[in-house]
Amino acid sequence: MSLRPHQLWRSRLKNGLQTLLIMASLALVMSVPGYFLAGAAGVIMGFVAVMMAVYLSSWMPARMILASSNAGLLRRHHAPQLYRVLDVLYRRAGLEMAPQLYYSPTRDLNAFAVGTRRDGGIAITDGLLRTLDLRQLAGVLAHEVSHLQHDDTRVMSLAAAMTRLTLWITTVVQVSLLLLLPLVMAGELAFPWRPLLLVALAPTLSTLLQLALSRNREYTADLEAATLTGDPHGLASALDILERYHGSWLTAIYGHHNPAWLDWLHTHPPTSERIRRLLEIGEHPHLPHPIIRLPADEQPIINERPGPMGGRYWIWRR
- Model pLDDT for residues 21-40, shown as the tens digit of each residue: 888 888 888 888 887 777 78
The top-scoring range by mean pLDDT among 17-21, 138-142, 208-212 is 138-142
Computed over every residue of the chain, the mean pLDDT equals 78
pLDDT score of 140 more than 90? yes
pLDDT score of 315 more than 90? no
pLDDT for the residue numbered 117: 79
pLDDT for the residue numbered 250: 44
The DSSP code sequence of 192-240 is: -HHHHHHHHHHHHHHHHHHHHHHHHHHHHHHHHHHHHHS-HHHHHHHHH
Q: Say if residues 136 and 9 touch (Cβ distance below 8 Å).
A: no
pLDDT for the residue numbered 230: 86
pLDDT score of 107 more than 80? yes
| Residues annotated as catalytic (active site), given as ranges | 144
**3 state DSSP class of 316:** helix
Cα 87 from Cα 160, distance rounded (Å): 31
pLDDT for the residue numbered 83: 93
pLDDT score of 297 more than 70? no
Average pLDDT over residues 249-256: 44
3-state helix/strand/coil string of 19-51 = HHHHHHHHHHHHHHHHHHHHHHHHHHHHHHHHH
Instruction: Select the more confidently predicted residue: 286 or 143.
Output: 143
pLDDT for the residue numbered 261: 42
Instruction: Select the more confidently predicted residue: 38 or 166.
Output: 166
Q: Say if residues 127 and 140 touch (Cβ distance below 8 Å).
A: no
Cα 192 from Cα 34, distance rounded (Å): 16
Cα 263 from Cα 267, distance rounded (Å): 9
Lowest mean pLDDT among 30-34, 98-102, 211-215, 256-260: 256-260
Residue type, 79: A
**pTM recorded for the entire structure:** 0.80
pLDDT score of 283 more than 70? no
**3 state DSSP class of 164:** helix
Average pLDDT over residues 41-70: 70
Average pLDDT over residues 86-92: 93
